[in-house]
């Protein structure tokens, strides 16, 4: 009798275990397809992984130590300090930051990314909070170019970095020109070096990079006295990371309202600028 009871108890226990295992595998809380919210992960681990691309003075990388500085770095450090988490940095590139973010290599991007339409199909951009100019260099004595449209000629060779704004701009608006497209991982000065070396007639890149380069390279000069175009600057998240997107947007709004973003840029003598905003009481 006892033996039969024991057998029945074992069978019941096995059935209960099978039912429990089935329930666990069907539970939404542990399905393999469910993904932890990125902001929740950041708060749980107290760490935010950031992709960056060097663009002095917004993001500066010391060539000897690898230490990062710049006003974009100062801004994200301020955010992390207030939120109580640490930062891990991953170097990316202008053409590769979208893939790095979407494959989980990093949680967000904080370099001076341009929120262009084609890029917006792959990642989410915060609202622009800085604006930066674009320019280029030519050899001293080369006076052929009065406007950006003057570059749109078959005999003109233009050096650009793959995926950077100038690359996209030139392909769209300067289709007749020859493009020397440099690797996405190239240093920001690479298009300018190409002009110094006689490999290109024009090198296009950000205006502040141009201003810095011409100071130490007397063989070239700025293409124009003023930037040929101005582009907005944003931070980046994955499209499905709404909570992290909201968090960074709120952080930007706060740092802008307190004047800290403007002060950070001025600390590095940056030519980037912010929108001027005026406030007026209702009824006045």
pLDDT of residue 23: 43
Report d(CA 87, CA 207) in Å as an integer: 29
Residue 70: other Cβ atoms inside 10 A: 23
Backbone φ and ψ for 161, nearest 5 degrees, come out as: -100, 135
pTM for this structure?
0.74
With a pLDDT cut of 70, the percent of the chain lying above it is 85
Q: For residue 247, what is the enclosing H or E element? A: helix 242-257
pLDDT of residue 7: 55
Q: Taking 60 as the threshold, does the pLDDT of residue 102 lie above it?
A: yes
Residue 182: other Cβ atoms inside 10 A: 21
pLDDT tens-digit profile of 148-194? 999 999 999 999 999 899 999 999 999 999 999 999 888 999 999 99
Domains of the chain: 38-130+232-267 (3.40.190.10), 133-230 (3.40.190.10)
Helix (H, G, I), strand (E, B) or coil at 118: helix
pLDDT of residue 48: 97
Pairing of strands 123-125, 108-113: unpaired
Find out whether 91 and 218 touch, Cβ atoms under 8 Å: no
Lowest mean pLDDT among 2-6, 131-135, 196-200, 201-205: 2-6
pLDDT tens-digit profile of 234-256? 999 999 999 999 999 999 999 99
Q: Taking 60 as the threshold, does the pLDDT of residue 128 lie above it?
A: yes
Of 255, 268, 223, the residue nearest 133 (C-alpha): 223
End-to-end CA distance of the chain: 95
Section 13-21 average pLDDT? 46
Instruction: List all residues 6 or more positions away from 255 whose beta carbon is below 8 Å from its beta carbon.
Output: 75, 78, 79, 261
pLDDT of residue 8: 47
Report d(CA 81, CA 181) in Å as an integer: 39
Report d(CA 104, CA 100) in Å as an integer: 6
């Amino acid at each position: 009798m006892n033996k039969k009871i024991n057998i029945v108890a074992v069978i019941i226990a096995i059935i209960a275990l099978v039912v429990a295992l089935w329930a666990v595998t069907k539970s939404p809380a542990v399905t393999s397809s469910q993904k932890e919210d990125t902001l929740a992960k950041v708060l749980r681990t107290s760490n935010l992984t950031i992709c960056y691309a060097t663009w002095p003075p917004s993001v500066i990388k010391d060539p000897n130590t690898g230490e990062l500085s710049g006003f974009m770095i100062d801004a994200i450090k301020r955010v992390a300090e207030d939120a109580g988490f640490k930062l891990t940095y991953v170097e990316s590139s202008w053409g590769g930051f979208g893939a790095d973010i979407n494959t989980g290599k990093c949680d967000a991007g904080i370099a001076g990314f341009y929120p262009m339409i084609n890029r917006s199909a792959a990642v989410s951009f915060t609202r622009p909070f800085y604006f930066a100019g674009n320019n280029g260099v030519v050899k001293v004595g080369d006076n052929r170019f009065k406007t950006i449209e003057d570059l749109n000629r078959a005999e003109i060779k233009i050096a650009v970095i793959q995926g950077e704004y100038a690359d996209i701009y030139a392909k769209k608006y300067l289709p007749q020109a020859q493009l020397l497209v440099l690797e996405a991982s190239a240093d920001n000065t690479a298009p300018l070096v190409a002009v110094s070396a006689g490999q290109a007639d024009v090198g296009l890149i950000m205006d502040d990079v141009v201003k810095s380069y011409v100071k130490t390279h007397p063989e070239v000069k700025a293409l124009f006295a003023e930037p040929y175009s101005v582009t907005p600057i944003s931070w980046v998240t994955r499209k499905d990371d709404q909570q992290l997107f909201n968090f960074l947007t709120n952080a930007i709004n706060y740092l802008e309202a307190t004047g800290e973003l403007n002060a950070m840029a001025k600390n590095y003598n940056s030519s980037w600028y912010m929108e001027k905003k005026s406030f007026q009481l209702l009824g006045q």
